[in-house]
Structures are given as C-alpha cells and as structure tokens.
A and B are shown apart, each in its own frame.
Chain A
C-alpha cells in the first residue's frame, strides 16, 4: 500500500472543485486511458487575467485525483502569470509529498495547467513538437529534458517516476539515458558530479550536514510543526531523530528519504543514507 500523506488522502477522498465550467476561458487536457491517468482542467479568467474559478475531471489513482484537486485550490485567485510559475514540485509539496513512483501525477497537473494557460492565450505548447522517445506513453525528448533539468534527475528510473517515459517496454531506456547525459552536460550540477568524489573527514562531513539541516531542512519541517536532530554520522550513514509533528506523521519515512536524504545528497555527499534512530 502506498504511503500517502493525510493531505493526499483528504484531497482524494474529498476532492475540491470537481466538475466542469460551463464556458471555460482555458481548457487543458493531458493523459489518456492507455496511460492510466488523464486530467481535464478548466479555468475561468477575469478581465484582469486573474483565475477566478478552476474545475477538474480526472481519471486516475489517488495521487492523480489529489494532485488535480490541489492544483485547482492553488491556482484560484492567482493571475495567469503567477499560476504559470507553479511547478510539479509545488503541487507535491502542497500535498506534503508524494511517493517517488507517483511524481508523474504532479507532472500531469503542471502539464494540464500549462495547456490550459496556452489554450487561453491561443498559443501552442512546444512540448508536443519534440521527438517521441517513449512510444508506450507518448513522452517527447523535450518533456524528458525539462524534467531532468527542473527536478535534477540522474537516472532512467527517476525519469520514469516523473514522466512515465521508460515505464513500458523499456526499449527507450538507452535514449533516455542519452538525454539525461546531454541535458546535464555542462550544467553546474554535472560539473559537480563529474568531479572526483569529495574526500571529507568525518568532522567536515558532520559540519556540512549540520549546516544543511540548520539552513534548509529544519526551517522547512518547522513550518509543519516538525523538527529533526542529528544524532550521529557513521561513514555514509546519517542517523537522525525526528521531533514534533514529524514523530506521529504517517509520511515521515517519505520525508526522510525523499526530502532530507535528497537534500543531503545534493549538498554534502551523494552516497549518504539517512536513517531514523529507533528508540
């Protein structure tokens, strides 16, 4: 069973803004029956370019329904320019996180929003004009490149989690890997990645970990009433203790792996493994 946050469950069981707008100003339709999920997003926009209503219809799993519901809540009251800045990570964060295998549901939300805004403005999205890499799910190279860039993806598995590309027959795996390497080549991230692995002393490692925890991770957790404390560092194993609301949170393991570990790997050492101290 998937480890869904309470917010995901709430938006799945009590979805907001289900339905259709009679005369929508912008409509975005993405996904398909074959792919297993689809979203039709409708926007009503006032004369000042502000979204005054948003409704959706979704075919899909709990994550797809919750992502769609969250998206409609997020965009209402925003101008089109503000809404256009919403990323799939924003949708996932709004829900308190999604299992990594379900990130494509948040991507579907973002794609539907882009399609609806493009529809309102009467422009064509460039994504559809790319080369179809994944025949099974109809994913283009442009979509893959974008996902790699925006979400700092490194592996075929990660690309599959975010875009579905490569999740079918697997024939496109080599091409996806090429795209990952091409996209990351020359970027700051890749330059860092191709450097020899950092040789850190234990003291340096602990200092860096503490720095990332204080600067970035703890403030984010505190927003939701939680907290985290560094207990020990043993080689690549980072032992932490969760505090406050994180202790009783059903999604705490997702937070540890998908947020804390990811941040520490990005900013300290990409071999770190975060584990919770079991009392």
Chain B
C-alpha cells in the first residue's frame, strides 16, 4: 500500500470505527496495571475502579443530558439495541407490533426481521420507507402506530448516508400514544447535540468505538420509570440490569471520550463539516455523472455518501487503498452479498449508481491536506475504471442482457 499524506494513512472511514483518542489511551492504562481491581469487591482496592466507573457514568450522562442512573454499560451498540427492543416486547407481551425503518443498521433490522424465530411468537413488523433523499414521512409514521405497537425503533442518524431522522418529534408522537421509543444513536452521539432531558425517548444506544473510545464498550440509556427486562442475566452489576463484570478500562475510556466529544462538538459541526462540504463539492464538480446520496442538509456533519455511475465500489476502494485512503462502499461486492446496500435500494438509488457508491466519513483528526489528496487521487481512478466499463460510452443504454434475459436494470 502506498501511504497517503506524508506517509500516513488517510482515514475517512470513521462511521465504521474511529481512532481511540490519545488522551483516552492514556486514561485507560492504569486500569490494566495498577488499578486492576473488580469494582464489586469489598475492599478499597476494588473500590478505586468502582469510583472511576461512577465518574465515567457521570461524564456519559452529561453528554446525553441524562441522569447517571439512566446509563447501563453494555458491550456494544448491537447489545444495546437487542436489550432495548427485547425488553419492550417482554414488558408488553400482549403487544406484537414493531415499527422501524427500511434503512436500519443490521443490529436492528436483522433482529426485528428474525423476531418470530427468536421468540417463538408471531409479530407484525412495519418497516417505514424513506424518500429519495433518505428521509422519513412523519404522517406515514404516525399512521403506522396502533394499539398493538410495543416499540418503535428508529436510528437517530444513518450509518451509510448520515441522514438525521427527526427522532425527537417521532418519540413525542409515540409518547402521546403510550408507545415505547428506542433510537440507535450510535452514529449521532458525539457528532450532533443530544439532550435527552428534553425528549421523551425511552431507550438510546451508544457504541464506544464510534466516538474515539475502544471497541467492545457500549451504553444503553433507559429513561427513569421505563419498564425494563434485562437481556444479560447474571450478577448484581448495573443494579441487576446487566450482569457481567464491568469492562472497567473501556468504561473509563468511554467516559473520557464523551467528555472530549462534548468539547469537540463545535469543531465537528464547523471545521469537520466544512472539510466534508469541500470534499463533496470538489468531487461532484470534478467527476461527471456523480451524485450525492442522502439529504443535503439533514445529515451528520462528517458523512458524505457519493455515487459514481457505471463503476463498481469495490474496484474504487481497492484503488484508493493503494494510495492509503480508507473509505467504504455500499456496493454488493464489498459486503459479500450480491446486492447493493439495503439503504441505497430503499432510497431508490438506481443500479447505475448504487453499485458505485463510496462513503467518506471524517473525524476531527482529518486535515485539509487529506481532502486535497483525495480530490487529486480519486478522479483519475474513476476515469480509469470508466474507460474499462462497457456501460460508460453507451451511457444510459441500460444493459447488455445476460444471455438475452431482461434483468430489470432500472427497476
């Protein structure tokens, strides 16, 4: 791999995972060495770890506008999602309707789609469609709710496009109907302001590695007074709401990462957003037949999902990788599936573009030089691949037809 700017990797895949902040790495270390005690132990040594967890819980609550006792530590965002949704269904066993969207992360999508098999009970699942720019229709959402609805689970921001859903408004609507509301806020936390004291959201999922903490630590926020059934049964940890010895070092790391995120929120929404916008404008201007996927304004400040028609995403990524540029794609070939991203398909992105989608997701560690570097390297890559594509010259001709069979390219 050829290295990017000044020999360093140009990492623009922060919606996949983030670098652990250097300050966070330092803060974690004592809990692997001199402060390795178990927070549940009845001695001062273990209590030092316990007190550090109390502080971390406060730091996380502060970022979310929540009370510390509303914070439950989990292993990841996926566990938080499962805990919230399964808890709601067990709290109201007479209700069998789940409302979610067609563009959820697999942690919610696959759980809800497989709920009947998992629980042995029949459920009704409503997966709300989205518009061409990835947005939900609130009227359609409201109409989908009924007396049988046990839980609404809607992501705060989409991991692929960055589109921000109006979850506060959606939670309000659910609340007025007496329905529990969960949001997978894994991509939103730390990037946009969140104040849970001002919304009736019942459950919210956080993942540490998306905001410069390590992998393997997550949070489930549970509003005070919300009925709750634990998912991980074990000891008395987390007040009996989540068994298992606490991942002390990672909890301390997440606490500090949340404090740093609060401190960096302005930069995320100004400097990072400006870099993202410059990258977006530059690529759309430099590369013909390219298009933005996702809402122009209601979008995370760090995320750009862009399609280059008539070329394939994996091929683009491998060429970028040679330059040390890390990004991701919604193409079929990168996922191991045979179909492009379910998010782009739900948005109605045509096949000409869906297979050639690239996601750049920035962080505060990115620089203007890196934006220049991508703007310099990517256009020739697209040109090269298009010169190889049978569709490029005969643009919009549609298909070459596998053995004469109609493939429904434009469907």
Of A12, A36, A59, A168, which contacts B389 at CB under 8 A? A59
Mask for A102-133, Cβ within 8 A of B = 1, else 0? 10000000010001000000000101100010
CA of A59 to CA of B318, assembled, Å? 15
B338 & A167 in contact (Cβ 8 Å cutoff): yes
Tell me whether B310 is interfacial, beta carbon within 8 Å. Answer: yes
Tell me whether B48 is interfacial, beta carbon within 8 Å. Answer: no
| Nearest Cβ on chain A to B109's Cβ, whole angstroms | 15
| Interface residues of A, dominant DSSP | mixed
When C-beta atoms are compared, the residue in chain B nearest to A127 turns out to be B403
Residues of B within 8 A of A34 (CB): 351, 399, 407-409, 411
Residues of A within 8 A of B319 (CB): 13
B338 & A164 in contact (Cβ 8 Å cutoff): yes
Residues of B within 8 A of A58 (CB): 388-390
- Given A36-B355, A59-B311, A60-B312, the answer on whether A18 and B407 have CB atoms closer than 8 Å is no
- Given A37-B312, A137-B338, the answer on whether A32 and B399 have CB atoms closer than 8 Å is yes
Size class of B's contact patch? 35 or more
B332 & A32 in contact (Cβ 8 Å cutoff): no
Of B333, B338, B390, which contacts A39 at CB under 8 A? B390
Chain A residues within 8 Å of chain B by Cβ, number: 44
Tell me whether B404 is interfacial, beta carbon within 8 Å. Answer: yes
**How many A-B residue pairs lie within 8 Å, measured between CB atoms?**
119
- Given A34-B351, A60-B333, A140-B405, the answer on whether A40 and B400 have CB atoms closer than 8 Å is yes
When C-beta atoms are compared, the residue in chain A nearest to B319 turns out to be A13
B409 & A32 in contact (Cβ 8 Å cutoff): yes
| Interface residues of B, dominant DSSP | loop
Residues of A within 8 A of B399 (CB): 32-34, 38
Tell me whether B80 is interfacial, beta carbon within 8 Å. Answer: no
- Given A18-B388, A61-B315, A138-B407, the answer on whether A31 and B402 have CB atoms closer than 8 Å is yes
A125 & B409 in contact (Cβ 8 Å cutoff): no
A33 & B398 in contact (Cβ 8 Å cutoff): yes
Tell me whether B337 is interfacial, beta carbon within 8 Å. Answer: yes
CA of A152 to CA of B371, assembled, Å? 49
Residues of B within 8 A of A111 (CB): 402-403
Tell me whether A212 is interfacial, beta carbon within 8 Å. Answer: no
- Among residues 153 to 212 in chain A, which have CB atoms less than 8 Å away from a CB atom of chain B? 160, 164, 167-168
| Nearest Cβ on chain B to A117's Cβ, whole angstroms | 14
Of A31, A36, A60, which contacts B340 at CB under 8 A? A36
Mask for B336-367, Cβ within 8 A of A = 1, else 0? 11111000000000011001000000000000
B402 & A65 in contact (Cβ 8 Å cutoff): no
Interface centre among B311, B312, B352, B399 (most CB of A within 10 A): B312
Tell me whether A217 is interfacial, beta carbon within 8 Å. Answer: no
Tell me whether B236 is interfacial, beta carbon within 8 Å. Answer: no
B407 & A137 in contact (Cβ 8 Å cutoff): yes
When C-beta atoms are compared, the residue in chain B nearest to A9 turns out to be B318
B405 & A62 in contact (Cβ 8 Å cutoff): no
Tell me whether B160 is interfacial, beta carbon within 8 Å. Answer: no
Tell me whether A101 is interfacial, beta carbon within 8 Å. Answer: yes
A12 & B390 in contact (Cβ 8 Å cutoff): no
- Given A31-B402, A59-B311, A160-B338, the answer on whether A12 and B355 have CB atoms closer than 8 Å is no
Residues of A within 8 A of B391 (CB): 33, 38, 59
A101 & B336 in contact (Cβ 8 Å cutoff): yes
| Nearest Cβ on chain B to A112's Cβ, whole angstroms | 10
28 A-B residue pairs with CB within 8 Å: A2-B314, A12-B315, A13-B322, A32-B399, A32-B407, A33-B310, A33-B352, A33-B398, A33-B399, A34-B408, A34-B409, A34-B411, A35-B407, A38-B399, A40-B390, A59-B311, A59-B312, A61-B312, A61-B331, A62-B315, A62-B333, A64-B312, A128-B404, A136-B339, A138-B403, A160-B338, A168-B338, A168-B339
> Which 6 A-B pairs give the minimum distances between C-beta atoms?
A167-B338, A61-B333, A138-B405, A32-B407, A29-B400, A128-B403
Residues of B near any A CB (own CB < 8 A) = 310-312, 314-315, 318-319, 322, 331-333, 336-340, 351-352, 355, 387-391, 398-409, 411
Besides the known contacts A138-B406, A143-B403, A167-B337, 7 further A-B residue pairs in the complex with CB atoms under 8 A apart = A29-B401, A33-B352, A33-B398, A36-B331, A37-B312, A38-B390, A40-B400
